[in-house]
Structure 1
Amino acid sequence: MTNMPRWSWVLIGLGLTAAACGGDDGDTGGGSSGRGGGAGDAGSAGAAGDGGAAGNSTAGTGGDGGLGGSAGVGGDGGSAGGGAGGSAGVGGISGSAGVGGSVGGAAGAGGFAGVGGDAGAGGVAGSGTAGVGGAGASGGTGGVGGTGGVGGTAGSSGSGGSGGGSSAGPCTAGARRCDGLVTQVCNATGSAWITVETCSHACSAGLCTGACEPGARRCSGTTAQQCSASGNSWEHLESCPSYCHVATGQCALVGKLVTGNENHDGVLVVDGALVVKAGASLYSPSGELTIYADSIIVEAGASIGVAATGDEPAGRGAPNSSCSSTYQVGGGGSYGTRGTSGYSGCGVAGPIHGQTQDSRITKGSRGGSRSGSSNGGLGGGALRLIAPTIEMRGSLIARGANALDAAPSGGGGSGGGVLLAADNLTVTGSVDTTPGLGRVSSYSGGNGGNGRVKLLSGVRFEDAGTYSGAVITRGMLSPLDIGSSTVPVDTLHYNDDFDQAHFSWSEAFPSVLGYYFLTNTNETTVPTPGNATWVAAETVAVPRSAFVQGDNYFHLASVNSSSLVSSVQSWFRVRLNTLPPTVSSLSHPNQSNWYTSNRDAFFSWSLPTPDASVTGYHWSRDHFADTVPTKADPFLAVGDKQLLQAGLPDGVHFFHVVSVDKNGHLTKQAGHYQVRIGASPGAGDLVGVITSATSSQPIPNAKVEINRGLFTATTNASGAYSFINAIAGTWELRVSAAGYQTATVPVTVNSSGATLRDVTLTPE
């Protein structure tokens, strides 16, 4: 499909990340690109004589300038308009040569702002001077900038778009590209590249190559593909009559009219209107239904519902862990509000989870029951309706389930979650996220807590609805599909070897002015003008220094054309790992011992992150303490957390290892382990003074290292250092100090007495 609906890109709640394929990072530009301007008009035709301008012509759609009119007699040619990024305008066609003047049509102004691209084409020669080709700036990682406009006769052609940062636009809606191992697709407004998935092997032309997960689905243009049973190739599944939904790999339906009772699970994508007629129903037995469409209409007397299948651990009701076996009851499940505890306070209700001021919903939580039983009621399901226009005049249902009518008494499930997100939102019907009840008996279980209903709009919201069992959030729509090509999956941990984290998203609604963003370690923070940074684009790069070890959050809030800031944020989690693997050795457990009878070193290591976040390890072995392996060093797969190094010669050996995350980042630090093989060579002292090569003055606080950290000392106020009982042998001595060039010299430590080694440092 060529005209892709804006809402087809929203990926909320699908457990997917977004990306795109294309050119490598450029050298020029790092700024966010501006929004594209419309095409400019060519100059008006001038009268005969001096100063006549080129004639009018209608500008082309999408940023190409209109064709120039005939030049006035004797008039000077108009200058071509420079493209404000994106495609520069096409130069005007030269008119008849005037007397004494240059002839030229005026090029239209550039279209969308974008990452710099190819240089503009040279002007067409006429009776005057040929136009000068516009020079495109070097592209950053992001959308390809537009070609400069063709110059009119004597007019200068438009300049190409300026360079931008990674994920910047413009790009062509639906285009695909690769950013390393990440596949990306251009969002529907052409303003940013959105992350789709991380490839396990390689990315080419915006699609993963190599092995795939059997049964997985994806889109290739307007074709839906499925991974073969062998996992070795992608097979044609169906040709889409409209477009293929990139997040799910399924074809969009061309309109959808529900006139009876229908079941549908997962994601339903409609190119056009989804209409549920009066008396009809759409139901999800799995309890998970997300609908994307151009418009969604639920008529009065119609309904959309999801089954009670929720078992979110965060709000699950507890069994009777704090009471005697007399009262075998469970607490209620919780979500928007807390459920109630069972009889006599036994079976405590689960904690509230989720937020009131964000755009996310989940299923509800199950009620508690005695250990080993499953009598607690399940929480309500999750229902999401996402479209530019939503008219909800019927009923939406995501109720929690009652506990089973069986002893011991279980707790009721909490209500579920309902999200309505639209530019224009009308609610005159009912939304029901009522919780389930605990089993009633002599020792009753607790009741569930209320669900959550989120009503988010961009332009207009008419609310005359009725709501049951719900904590309600009403607010301005913030982007629902935040993604990152640097840290693509917000449930995985990523290593710290990157300079910036790039985030991108789709336009929240057509009249959005821009966004406030911030990063911190608090999931609930809403960006404001007082705590956040303004950005007028759908992409931003955040320095690595903004993130710390553990869970971080990138927050985003929309600002509308009246400069109102949304009180409802969207967020993306960044799980950062700054820690290396921890190395040990069963064969050589003491790093300070000399081993004379075992030259076969067996190393093993553990990770600070789950194995699911890692693809493998790079390792190296040498005689230096601080070596950090690179991608050029040997690689081991994720399951190989041990390595045998047999037949090591006499001496001090260091083993080094770093992990590799799912996006190819290494840890900046390495795990190190020292093994000493052979008889001890003895020990001696190493002393000396560090001075300036230009002034001969001593240098205090200089760092002095034997073999890059085997032993380390710091000079005193007199520039003196000393190593007592250093291992005898020939080593590298490295000396560094602030304001001086680092010096590296050989040194031999004798096993008896002291060795003197002075070093001079050259100022920087």
Structure 2
Amino acid sequence: CAGGSGGGIRLIADDLTVTGLLSANGGSPRGGQGRIKLLYGARQNVAATMNGAVETSRIPPLDLSSSTHPDQARTYNDGFDAFNVAWTRPFGDLAAYYYDLTTALPTSQSQVPDSQSTYEQGETVSFAKDQIPTGTTYFNVVSVGPMASFGTLETAFRVRVNAAPPTISSSSHPSSSQWYEQPTAIFSWTDPLAADNFVAYYYRFDRYADTIPTKSDARLPVSDKQLMQANLPAGSIWYLHLVSEDTAGYLTRTASHFKIQVGPEPGKGGISGNIREQGSTPPLMLDGVTVTLNRGLQSTASASGGQYFFSNTVYAGSYELRATKSGYEPFVTQVSVTAGQNTSLNIELVKSP
């Protein structure tokens, strides 16, 4: 149209011959300069008059696809094992490819894959999860013809990765540090991205701080963003753990954890003791042992001489106590705490085989 900006022309052929006139410029003196891309495989013979910004290159792969992350418009959770990309051979006497992984598309020729990039002879590549960071990553690839003639135009495939689980809140127990006598807990959550990137949620409701739900746990469709748990006993501490599932079936590697405390505050007590290596003579007292209650509700470490303390910081109730140190088998037991009292528990760790 008159006065419009420049357009674009792309010609592709294994044996490319161009004659006559090609113009990609705008329709008036104010129109912008368009781009003309001439992509060839074995040979090229260009004898045309061309008006526009001309780029001539070996044909790059034109049909990049991913079996693991098929839709470039979607964002996928980070619970995948690999990112795979495949394409068909763009011309017959192709010698190889070079590719890069970048967080932005190339904006200059110096950023297009070249001989300093990764060499590939086949038409499929696979990347481990730790090679694909959270956010946007581009797989950029160029073709190389005979006599190491590099293509100068790349093709890119975009993959976007989310690591954030949903954000949980509770209308019935809004503060995780307060006690509420309401025995029914009501939770809701919001997604970190547009809802069409997700299909479901998995959750678990338990007494532990670090649980990460899997596909063996309870599932809710993406349209359900609320959960109720009723008849919770007074004096108890609970966690709701939640992950999302994306359109490819991947979960987030981390979960949201929301703690609630049910009933009137039960008062606090303590736990203390010594930690030694089992069977050691004289006793080998162990420092640096991590001691946790309910897998992260509270934690401490044994000091020099093997002593550990939870000094009047533990609400009355029953807990799983776990002691761990590199080179030793984990120690796990149940411990009860009474308000205003200290529970004494000495621990012996068994050396790992």
TM-score (norm 2): 0.90
Task: Map 1:253-332; keep pairs closer than 5 Å.
Answer: none
Residue 753 of structure 1 is matched in structure 2 by 341
Residue 653 of structure 1 is matched in structure 2 by 238
2:64 alignment partner, one of 482, 502, 505: 482
Partner secondary structure for residue 92 of structure 2: coil
Task: Map 1:94-493; keep pairs closer than 5 Å.
Answer: 401-402=1-2, 413-435=4-26, 447-468=30-51, 470-493=52-75
- Letter of the structure 2 residue corresponding to residue 429 of structure 1: G
C-alpha displacement of 1:763: 3.4
Structure 1 pair 690–436 and aligned structure 2 pair: CA distance change class (3 A):
farther
Q: Which moved more, 1:671-680 or 1:744-753?
A: 744-753
C-alpha displacement of 1:697: 3.3
Residue 120 of structure 1 is matched in structure 2 by none
The alignment status of 1:552 with 2:137, answered yes or no, reads: yes
C-alpha displacement of 1:436: 5.3
Partner secondary structure for residue 465 of structure 1: strand
Q: Which moved more, 1:429-438 or 1:497-506?
A: 429-438
- Conserved? CA contact 1:492–1:575, under 8 Å: yes
Distance (Å, rounded) in 1 between the aligned partners of 2:97 and 2:279: 55
Residue 506 of structure 1 is matched in structure 2 by 88
Task: Map 1:556-575; keep pairs closer than 5 Å.
Answer: 556-575=141-160
Structure 1 pair 718–580 and aligned structure 2 pair: CA distance change class (3 A):
farther
Residue 77 of structure 2 is matched in structure 1 by 495
Residue 604 of structure 1 is matched in structure 2 by 188
Residue 210 of structure 1 is matched in structure 2 by none
C-alpha displacement of 1:448: 4.9
1:720 alignment partner, one of 307, 327, 338: 307
C-alpha displacement of 1:712: 2.1
2:115 alignment partner, one of 506, 515, 529: 529
Deviations along 1:657-703, whole A, 9 cap, x unmatched?
11001100011111111111112221112223443336553444333
More strand by percentage: 2
Residue 580 of structure 1 is matched in structure 2 by 165
Distance (Å, rounded) in 1 between the aligned partners of 2:18 and 2:202: 56
Deviations along 1:475-518, whole A, 9 cap, x unmatched?
11111111111111112111111222121111121111222223
Structure 1 pair 422–715 and aligned structure 2 pair: CA distance change class (3 A):
farther
Task: Map 1:8-27; keep pairs closer than 5 Å.
Answer: none
C-alpha displacement of 1:413: 4.4
1:730 alignment partner, one of 308, 315, 318: 318
Task: Map 1:50-89; keep pairs closer than 5 Å.
Answer: none
Partner secondary structure for residue 435 of structure 1: coil
Deviations along 1:340-379, whole A, 9 cap, x unmatched?
xxxxxxxxxxxxxxxxxxxxxxxxxxxxxxxxxxxxxxxx
Structure 1 pair 479–601 and aligned structure 2 pair: CA distance change class (3 A):
same
Deviations along 1:41-95, whole A, 9 cap, x unmatched?
xxxxxxxxxxxxxxxxxxxxxxxxxxxxxxxxxxxxxxxxxxxxxxxxxxxxxxx
Structure 1 pair 752–639 and aligned structure 2 pair: CA distance change class (3 A):
same
Q: Which moved more, 1:545-554 or 1:754-763?
A: 754-763
Distance (Å, rounded) in 2 between the aligned partners of 1:593 and 1:708: 20
Residue 290 of structure 2 is matched in structure 1 by 703
- Letter of the structure 2 residue corresponding to residue 511 of structure 1: D
Deviations along 1:565-615, whole A, 9 cap, x unmatched?
32322111110111111111122110111111x222111111222212111
- Letter of the structure 2 residue corresponding to residue 450 of structure 1: Q
Partner secondary structure for residue 130 of structure 2: helix
Structure 1 pair 423–594 and aligned structure 2 pair: CA distance change class (3 A):
same
- Conserved? CA contact 1:520–1:547, under 8 Å: no
Query: Identity, % of aligned pairs?
Result: 38
- Letter of the structure 2 residue corresponding to residue 488 of structure 1: P
Structure 2 gap ranges (5+): none
Residue 667 of structure 1 is matched in structure 2 by 252
Structure 1 pair 627–476 and aligned structure 2 pair: CA distance change class (3 A):
same
C-alpha displacement of 1:617: 0.8
Structure 1 gap ranges (5+): 1-400, 403-411, 439-446
Aligned residues: 344
Residue 209 of structure 2 is matched in structure 1 by 625
Structure 1 pair 519–702 and aligned structure 2 pair: CA distance change class (3 A):
farther
Partner secondary structure for residue 553 of structure 1: strand
Distance (Å, rounded) in 1 between the aligned partners of 2:308 and 2:32: 68
Distance (Å, rounded) in 2 between the aligned partners of 1:465 and 1:714: 77
C-alpha displacement of 1:437: 5.6
CA RMSD of aligned residues (A): 2.1
Structure 1 pair 477–759 and aligned structure 2 pair: CA distance change class (3 A):
farther
Residue 641 of structure 1 is matched in structure 2 by 225
C-alpha displacement of 1:652: 1.0
Q: Which moved more, 1:481-490 or 1:512-521?
A: 512-521
C-alpha displacement of 1:718: 4.1
Structure 1 pair 660–560 and aligned structure 2 pair: CA distance change class (3 A):
same
TM-score (norm 1): 0.43
Distance (Å, rounded) in 2 between the aligned partners of 1:483 and 1:616: 25
- Letter of the structure 2 residue corresponding to residue 491 of structure 1: A
Distance (Å, rounded) in 2 between the aligned partners of 1:662 and 1:689: 50
Distance (Å, rounded) in 1 between the aligned partners of 2:331 and 2:185: 33
- Letter of the structure 2 residue corresponding to residue 721 of structure 1: Y
C-alpha displacement of 1:538: 0.8
Structure 1 pair 521–720 and aligned structure 2 pair: CA distance change class (3 A):
farther
Deviations along 1:181-218, whole A, 9 cap, x unmatched?
xxxxxxxxxxxxxxxxxxxxxxxxxxxxxxxxxxxxxx
Task: Using CA pairs under 8 Å that are at least 6 residues apart, name the structure with larger relative contact order, 1 or 2.
Answer: 2
